[in-house]
Amino acid sequence: MNSRRQSVALEASVIARLATPVVLAQIGWMSLGLVDMWMVGHLGPGALAGVALGDLWIYGTLLVAQGVMMGLDPIVSQAHGAGEGARAGAR
């Protein structure tokens, strides 16, 4: 029973070490809009609306690009695993 706990603790620490950069990046992306609002907030509601629209376009574009990358990932991995380097994009 004790070795199982040690194994779970080891796996949790490895996962936490791998997840830390991803968590920090997500916090950075979320705080981007907040900082924009802080910087423009004193200019009035029109400026805040403009920043909100800009953030909407940025996040929408990033979401589409991230979806394309996630869709390409299994296709490239499958081609690489099958030894078809040209189909995977390798020369």
Domain chopping of the chain, boundaries: 2-88
Residue-wise pLDDT tens digits, 38-90? 899 889 999 999 988 988 898 899 889 989 988 988 888 888 888 887 777 77
pLDDT at 9: 87
Residue 74, Cβ density class (10 Å: 0-12 exposed, 13-18 middle, ≥19 buried): exposed
1 pLDDT band, cuts 50/70/90, is low
**0.75 surpassed by pTM:** no
Which parts of 1-91 fold into alpha helices (H)? 2-40, 45-81, 85-88
